[in-house]
Amino acid sequence: MQKFILSLANKQGGIVLARDVLIHHYGFTPSCNPSAVRAGGIVFDKATIGHRRYRSASTAVCKAFNRLVDRELAVRILSGIRVDAGGFNG
């Protein structure tokens, strides 16, 4: 998942929010326009996805973000990470 996140960061100008990964990696469908909601806002209907599946996916994304930060490939921002230009070579 870390490689997926770095690839997504490369496509999105270095910023990846948790909801981006939930949409693009897990295929969760937003219940509203994600860009219309503040960075930490919930954009998914957890009942439709399933509370357990949503929590599991969210935890996996958080852990992947933390591993990238621990490896100094990214820095934490509100609800996501920022990857510096030198952090990913493809």
The answer to whether the beta carbons of residues 90 and 30 sit under 8 Å apart is: no
| 78: confidence class by pLDDT, cuts 50, 70, 90 | confident
Q: What is the mean pLDDT of residues 77-85?
A: 87
Between CA 57 and CA 68, with CA 63 as vertex, the angle to 5 degrees is: 125
Q: What is the mean pLDDT of residues 40-57?
A: 88
Using a 10 angstrom Cβ sphere, with 0-12 exposed, 13-18 middle and 19 or more buried, the burial of residue 46 is middle
| 9: confidence class by pLDDT, cuts 50, 70, 90 | very high
Q: What is the mean pLDDT of residues 56-68?
A: 97
Residue-level pLDDT at 32: 79
The answer to whether the beta carbons of residues 38 and 80 sit under 8 Å apart is: no
